[in-house]
A and B are shown apart, each in its own frame.
Chain A
Amino acid sequence: MSIDKETVKKIGNLAKIELSAKEIDIYSSQLTKIIDFMNKLDEVDTTKTKTFSNENLDDHTGRPDDSVEDGNYVDKIIKNAPESKEGFFTIVKVIE
């Protein structure tokens, strides 16, 4: 199956990645090769197979209670932000 340029543009949009015309060309050909490689899975009969999930792994613990045990370190978090103001992350204007 071929991943055409329109599909690449659509995926780029879903993945929030800006793509140049040249990249769209390259990815169209590369993604086609990768998807072709994946299509080998069609050979396997999985009609009676359950999906794998981590719940099936023995001795795992499941999610702990979602309780707050710490907090109040806005400064430490903001320190890594590319831009911030008065304890908030700042972004470009989103209201028209």
Chain B
Amino acid sequence: MMELENLTISKALSLLEEGEITALQLTEFYLNKINSSKKLNAFCLTTSELALKQAENCDKIIKSNNRGKLCGIPIAVKDIFCTKNQKTQAASKILDGFIPDYESTVTEKLWNENAVMLGKLNMDEFAMGSSNETSIYGPAINPWKSQESNNNLTPGGSSGGSAAAVAADLCIATMGTDTGGSIRQPASFNGVVGLKPSYGRCSRWGIIAFASSLDQAGPITKTVRDSAILLNIISGYDNKDSTSAKKSVPDFESLLDSDLRGKKIGIPKEYLIDDTPIEISKLWENGKELLKDAGAKIVNISLPHTKYSLPTYYVLAPAEASSNLARYDGVRYGYRASLESDGRINDLYKITRSEGFGDEVKRRIMIGTYVLSAGFYEAYYQKALKVRKLIEKDFNEAFSTGINAILTPTTPSPAFELNSKIKENPVEMYLNDIFTVPTNLAGLPAISIPTGLSKNGLPLGLQLIGPKWGEQEILNVAYRIENDADFNHKPNSWWND
């Protein structure tokens, strides 16, 4: 049989079309790998029966004209996407046993193109976390190991399972969501590509809501081309989501162009933070050099409100979360607490929510409730909305000078050890999102691509931020960086049973 390891979407599509492999072979190959990679805890549900059925169908239609654009491509999706008749819990106890009767728009678009669904991927509870440690299923594990220690590393969060599954080659590609960096930070920690589209590019319908004005779905893939292929499919207006944009969708894949001559790349000075590790600043320098060599012009820019992004985010995201998560009351779906015989309706709500939500989710609901409460609404929530406006303005002004994309590191460090962040101070964990949060606040597209290794042999990523609707710009620059940086490292497969 053909060598099936490390296939990309584009390669697998041509092998399937040429009849070199069948969809069933490919699906069985991945199902076996998922089964023997339980140590990574990347999947919280494997949908083998459905996958095999879909694959058999793909093999029947592969030669016909009505086959979809992803015919036979095995994909898995984050547990935050509602999937029809398949358990969906956003890795929370409070959605215990929830089986949606509908499919999210983004995932429906994948299955309509005959992608094969392998299962659901582990994540931080309700996408609230940067390390996967808030999942009810326990954290997914990063397939990479530091050269200095055998301890398990975080795959990042919240789409940690989605990134770990791609890095460990348990599927061809995955779908994640990004509210403050939840696609890009895990992609960077796992040495894979992760793309957050512009706010409004994709429908949020059927994605379990965390912070509605920030949430956006996007692909995690092995190559930039694969991200372009998936973005083509998931983009577009949906009348079920009033924030999805009536905007024409370019053919991102066919427009991929690595010629960067004449392009201007902005370097924001505010992203050089105190105590940036040398390996991160060096990675950034290398990125700049590479782009210069490719004919792009490097321009220093300023985004003066950058340092206020994290506090702004940690007011607004919890505020929206406290409102969105008010629906979990133990009445209509999911977990319900058992009450004493004299329990009242308020006890039902309070005990259900106390037992059903994990610590981080409770903390964020409480923060959100506080900043929205009488007496604090203006001081925190309104204030943060104003600073958000200034952050958006910074980016608009930078792009109005003719910048094509902005280059930054994706994360301030490589993947860290699980259980290593100080639990007493949640702010320490929040600092992880320092380079990724501003783009969510401004609604801009951004992509993370692996370009180097840390001194301990762990992957590091660079981030490209584009203007609103400028996915093509960042895909093109990323395409060139991918080619020239030639990151071809893979983790050693220690996790096989």
B-contacting residues of A (Cβ < 8 Å)? Answer: 3, 7-8, 11-12, 14-19, 27, 29-31, 33-35, 37-44, 46, 49-54, 56-64, 73, 76-77, 79-83, 89, 91-92, 94
Contact indicator B244/A61 (Cβ below 8 Å): yes
- A16's partner among B310, B332, B350 (CB-CB below 8 A) is B350
Q: How far is the CA of A49 from the CA of B386 in the complex (A)?
A: 6
Q: Which residue of A lies closest to B372 (CB)?
A: A14
Chain B interface bracket (under 10, 10 to 19, 20 to 34, 35 or more): 35 or more
Q: Which 3 A-B pairs have the closest CB atoms?
A: A82-B336, A51-B385, A46-B386
Instruction: Check B315 against A44 for contact (C-beta < 8 Å).
Output: no
Q: A14-B369, A80-B97 are in contact. List 15 more A-B contacts (CB 8 A).
A: A3-B370, A12-B350, A17-B365, A30-B424, A31-B363, A31-B370, A38-B371, A38-B380, A41-B387, A44-B308, A44-B383, A52-B441, A57-B443, A89-B331, A89-B332
Interface centre among A29, A34, A61, A62 (most CB of B within 10 A): A34
B465 to chain A, nearest CB (A): 16
Kindly identify which residue among A7, A29, A44, A62 contacts B305, using a CB–CB cutoff of 8 Å: A44
CB distance from A3 to the nearest CB of B (A): 7
Q: In whole angstroms, how far apart are the Cα atoms of A43 and B344 in the complex?
A: 45
A96 vs B469: C-alpha distance in the bound complex, in angstroms? 57
Check if B382 sits within 8 Å of A59, measured CB to CB.
no
Which of A7, A42, A80 sits near B333, CB closer than 8 Å?
Answer: A80
Indicate which residue in A44, A53, A58, A81 contacts B390 across the interface (CB closer than 8 Å): A44
Query: Once the chains are docked, how many angstroms separate the CA of A53 from the CA of B424?
Result: 34
B331 touches A81 (CB 8 A): yes
Per-residue interface assignment for chain B, residues 344 to 386, with 1 indicating a CB less than 8 Å from any chain A CB and 0 otherwise: 1111111101100100001101111111010000001011111
A38 is contacted by which of B242, B305, B314, B388 (Cβ under 8 Å)?
Answer: B314
The A-contacting residues of B in range 415-442, CB under 8 angstroms, are 424-427, 430, 441
Interface contact tally, CB-CB below 8 A: 177
Which residues from B are CB-within-8-Å of A41? 308, 311-312, 315, 380, 383-384, 387
| Chain B nearest Cβ from A5, distance in angstroms | 13
How far is A15 from B389 in the complex, measured between Cα atoms in Å?
Answer: 28
Q: Does B101 contact A (CB under 8 A)?
A: yes
Cross-chain contact of B246 among A59, A80, A82, A89 (Cβ < 8 A): A59
The interface residues of chain A lying within 8 Å CB-to-CB of B385 are: 51-53
Supposing A18-B354, A37-B314, A51-B385 touch, asked if A29 and B424 sit within 8 A by C-beta, the answer is yes
The reply to whether B247 and A52 contact each other, CB–CB distance below 8 Å, is no
The interface residues of chain A lying within 8 Å CB-to-CB of B244 are 60-61
Does B239 have its Cβ within 8 Å of any Cβ on chain A?
yes
| Chain B residues near A (Cβ < 8 Å) | 97-99, 101, 199-200, 213, 237, 239, 242-247, 305, 307-308, 310-312, 314-315, 322, 326, 329-336, 339, 343-351, 353-354, 357, 362-363, 365-371, 373, 380, 382-390, 392, 424-427, 430, 441, 443, 468-469
Pair B245/A52 contact, Cβ less than 8 Å: no
* A77 vs B386: C-alpha distance when bound (angstroms): 40
Assess whether A15 is in contact with B366, with CB atoms less than 8 Å apart: yes
A54 neighbours in B (Cβ, 8 Å): 213, 243
Are B245 and A59 in contact (CB-based, < 8 A)? yes
Contact (Cβ within 8 A) B332 A81 = yes
Q: Is the CB of A40 within 8 A of B311?
A: yes
Which of B245, B329, B425 is the one whose CB lies under 8 Å from A30? B425
Decide: A18 and B390 in contact? CB cutoff 8 A.
Answer: no
Given contacts A41-B383, A59-B247, contact A17 B427 (CB under 8 A): no
What are 16 inter-chain pairs, A to B, with CB distance below 8 A? Answer: A11-B370, A14-B373, A17-B354, A18-B354, A34-B426, A38-B380, A41-B311, A43-B308, A44-B387, A49-B386, A49-B387, A56-B389, A57-B443, A82-B331, A82-B334, A89-B331
Report chain B residues within 8 Å CB of A94.
Answer: 344-345
Separation of A27 and B369 alpha carbons in the complex (Å): 13
With both beta carbons as reference points, the residue of chain A lying nearest to B374 in the complex is identified as: A14
When distances are taken between beta carbons in the complex, the residues of chain A under 8 Å from B314 are: 34, 37-38
